[in-house]
């Protein structure tokens, strides 16, 4: 566990720096940086009114990088934060540095000491596990009462977390952030005689358990589960599809290598070094990455290298504007780091939180889209499954099971079992328009997205 000298089981940056400086000096290490995290979690699960499992966890870890005398970088992670553990981590990193890649040497981010955005993230004291248990039992009971067919809530959980992370480097950078978050998920299962079981759920996040929209989570889980009871198979064919905000965000996230400078340099992205400025989507689509959005519960003010997080235009008017960068990829492209880095010998890059919507002034494609007033049959894709298996990120193709409805003459009917398949590059150019206002989800902000001509395979 990290030192307790600040009295709250958190990370004491000054003491940690002093220890590392001492160990580094003793090992002849002059240049280093470090990311550290510690957290305490409690969570509960229930099963038909009884506590199923109650869990607590105290976690701590550090990742340390060192530069050797040849300037090569090595990295080591450890959860052993005793003095022995830290010394072993530093010496391990030094040993690994002999195998550092001379063609791609990470450096300290030039923005590791730049000002950070002020985040409004109230710290909530934990409610305690017994209180969480009672809250979740009530939520489960409420959900079970919403429909006779809802027999169990097999996947559920209510959790609180208090966490802290920091970034230090031997040039004096010091970033530190504390956070408290709470989460609730409820996935109900419904059964009717002679019919297949159906399942759906909902998730809510907040800065504290008191702020969770528990009623909204129950209602959404119930409504979605009930809406899938009256299911039918769908004929295989091509359909115009309406993606829910969650489903479209999942799809864009699965293909985020489009925007990933690391993947571009590695040759596994759908983009290449010259793609900036290319039209890759319909002219009315904007995609921004904005980890600082106020609705992004648990936003980080800085990335793994200490670079401040910021709003970044990825697509504007369907044109690729920027890539996501670490310090090293930014240097390779001659731009500034964007605040999307991890921490490692080879630094990973990833998105934070997407904002997807119409390009201002573009009209946003077809107007007045309403899936319940469509002349043709519409497939409404509510949620995608198995993205880890069904997405070929570097090929652009996907074939994914989904939950959703076939809407004919304004009447939605749940689809028994089906897959949707396509190519992300074609999808981005086959967007017809948007329906409704953008919705806040845990992964970003997005409206309903209409896409024409997607291949649907059903069991009919």
Partner 1 sequence: MIATAPPDTGRLDHRWTTALEDLLACGRGAGADLVEVFLERTDHLGVLAEQDTITSVTPAFGMGAGIRVFRGHRDGFVSTNDLSPTGLRRALEQALGMLGLEPSLHATSGFDGLPTLRDFAATKSDWLQRCPELQEATARLLEGTDQLQRQGSHLQARRGSYARDWQEVLVAASDGTFGRDIRLHQSVGLNVLAADGEHRAGVGRRYGTSDQPDDLRRWDATSSAAEVCGSAGTMLYADYVEAGQMPAVLANRFGGVIFHEACGHLLETTQVERGTTPFAERVGESIAHEAVTAIDEGLTGGAFGSLSMDDEGMEAQRTVLIQNGVLQRFISDRAGELRTGHSRTGSGRRQSHTFAAASRMRNTYIDAGPHTPEQLIASVEKGLYCKSMGGGSVGPTGQFNFAVEEAYLIENGQLTKPVKGATLIGEAKEVMPRISMCANDLELAAGFCGSVSGSIFVTVGQPHIKVDSITVGGR
User: What is the C-alpha separation between 155 and 189, in angstroms, rounded?
Assistant: 9
Closest by CA position to 172, among listed 37, 306, 300: 306
Asked whether 450 and 244 are in contact (CB, 8 A), the reply is no
Q: Which of 139, 212, 400, 428: binder of partner 1 (CB under 8 A)?
A: 400
Quick check: 54 binds partner 1 (CB under 8 A)? yes
CB of 94 to partner 1, least distance (A): 11
Q: Which of 126, 197, 412, 442: binder of partner 1 (CB under 8 A)?
A: 197
| Residues touching partner 1, count (CB under 8 A) | 86
Quick check: 49 binds partner 1 (CB under 8 A)? no
Q: Which of 17, 21, 37, 77: binder of partner 1 (CB under 8 A)?
A: 77
Question: 311 vs 392, which CB is nearer to partner 1?
Answer: 392
Q: Which of 89, 205, 282, 449: binder of partner 1 (CB under 8 A)?
A: 89
Which range touches partner 1 (CB under 8 A), out of 71-79, 288-296, 319-327, 373-381?
A: 71-79
Quick check: 131 binds partner 1 (CB under 8 A)? no
CB of 405 to partner 1, least distance (A): 16
Quick check: 271 binds partner 1 (CB under 8 A)? no
Quick check: 59 binds partner 1 (CB under 8 A)? yes
CB of 98 to partner 1, least distance (A): 8
Residues 319-348 binding partner 1 (CB under 8 A) are 344-346
User: What is the C-alpha separation between 214 and 139, in angstroms, rounded?
Assistant: 7
Q: Which of 13, 34, 66, 86: binder of partner 1 (CB under 8 A)?
A: 86
CB of 64 to partner 1, least distance (A): 11
Q: Which of 26, 123, 148, 268: binder of partner 1 (CB under 8 A)?
A: 268
Question: 80 vs 211, which CB is nearer to partner 1?
Answer: 80
CB of 20 to partner 1, least distance (A): 9
Which range touches partner 1 (CB under 8 A), out of 94-102, 322-330, 372-380, 439-447?
A: 94-102
Question: 281 vs 391, which CB is nearer to partner 1?
Answer: 391
Question: 99 vs 372, which CB is nearer to partner 1?
Answer: 99
Site string for partner 1, 146-185 (x = CB under 8 A): -----xx-xx------------------------------
Residues 409-438 binding partner 1 (CB under 8 A) are 417-419, 421-422
CB of 349 to partner 1, least distance (A): 14
Closest by CA position to 348, among listed 298, 398, 303: 303
CB of 418 to partner 1, least distance (A): 7
Question: 88 vs 439, which CB is nearer to partner 1?
Answer: 88
User: What is the C-alpha separation between 264 and 348, in angstroms, rounded?
Assistant: 12
User: What is the C-alpha separation between 247 and 253, in angstroms, rounded?
Assistant: 10
Quick check: 236 binds partner 1 (CB under 8 A)? yes
CB of 60 to partner 1, least distance (A): 5
Quick check: 3 binds partner 1 (CB under 8 A)? yes
**Burial grade of 249 (CB within 10 A; 0-12, 13-18, 19 or more):** buried
Residues 98-127 binding partner 1 (CB under 8 A) are 98-101, 103-104
Residues 294-313 binding partner 1 (CB under 8 A) are none
Which range touches partner 1 (CB under 8 A), out of 110-118, 137-145, 164-172, 265-273?
A: 265-273
Q: What angle do CA 225, 222, 239 make, to 5 degrees?
A: 40
Question: 20 vs 116, which CB is nearer to partner 1?
Answer: 20
CB of 296 to partner 1, least distance (A): 25
């Amino acid at each position: 566990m990290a030192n307790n000298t600040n009295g709250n089981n958190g990370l004491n940056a000054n003491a940690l720096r002093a220890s590392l400086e001492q160990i580094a000096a003793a090992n002849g290490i002059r240049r280093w940086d470090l990311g550290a995290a510690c957290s305490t979690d409690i969570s509960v699960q229930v099963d038909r009114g009884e506590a199923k499992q109650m869990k607590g966890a105290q976690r701590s870890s550090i990742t340390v990088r060192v530069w050797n005398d040849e300037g090569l970088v090595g990295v080591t992670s450890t959860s052993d934060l005793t003095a022995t553990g830290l010394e072993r981590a530093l010496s391990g990193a030094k040993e690994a540095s002999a195998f550092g890649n001379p063609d791609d040497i990470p450096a300290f981010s030039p923005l590791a000491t730049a000002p950070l955005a002020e985040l409004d993230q109230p710290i909530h004291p934990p409610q305690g596990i017994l209180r969480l248990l009672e809250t979740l039992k009530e939520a489960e009971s409420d959900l079970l009462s919403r429909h006779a067919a809802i027999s169990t809530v097999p996947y559920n959980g209510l959790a609180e977390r208090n966490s802290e992370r920091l970034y230090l480097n031997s040039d004096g950078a010091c970033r530190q952030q504390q956070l408290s978050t709470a989460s609730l998920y409820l996935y109900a299962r419904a059964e009717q005689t002679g019919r297949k079981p159906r399942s759906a759920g909902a998730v809510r996040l907040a800065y504290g358990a008191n702020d969770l929209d528990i009623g909204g989570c129950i209602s959404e889980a119930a409504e979605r589960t009930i809406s899938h009871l009256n299911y039918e198979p769908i004929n295989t064919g091509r359909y115009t599809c309406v993606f829910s905000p969650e489903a479209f965000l999942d799809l864009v996230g699965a293909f985020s290598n489009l925007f990933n400078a690391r993947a571009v340099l590695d040759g596994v992205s759908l983009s290449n070094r010259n793609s900036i400025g290319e039209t890759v989507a319909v002219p009315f689509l904007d995609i921004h990455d904005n980890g600082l959005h106020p609705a992004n519960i648990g936003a980080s003010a800085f990335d793994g290298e200490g670079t401040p997080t910021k709003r970044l235009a990825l697509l504007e008017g369907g044109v690729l504007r920027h890539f996501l960068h670490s310090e090293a990829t930014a240097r390779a492209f001659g731009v500034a780091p964007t605040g999307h880095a991890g921490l490692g010998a080879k630094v990973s890059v990833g998105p934070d939180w997407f904002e997807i919507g119409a390009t201002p002034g573009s009209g946003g494609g077809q107007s007045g889209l309403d899936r319940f007033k469509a002349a043709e049959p519409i497939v409404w894709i509510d949620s995608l499954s198995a993205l880890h298996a069904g997405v070929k990120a570097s090929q652009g193709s996907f074939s994914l099971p989904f939950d959703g409805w076939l809407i004919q003459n304004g009447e939605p009917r749940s689809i028994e079992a089906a897959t949707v398949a396509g190519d992300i590059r074609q999808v981005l150019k086959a967007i017809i328009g948007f329906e409704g206002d953008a919705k806040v989800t845990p992964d970003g902000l997005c409206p309903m997205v209409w896409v024409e001509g997607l291949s649907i395979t059903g069991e009919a």
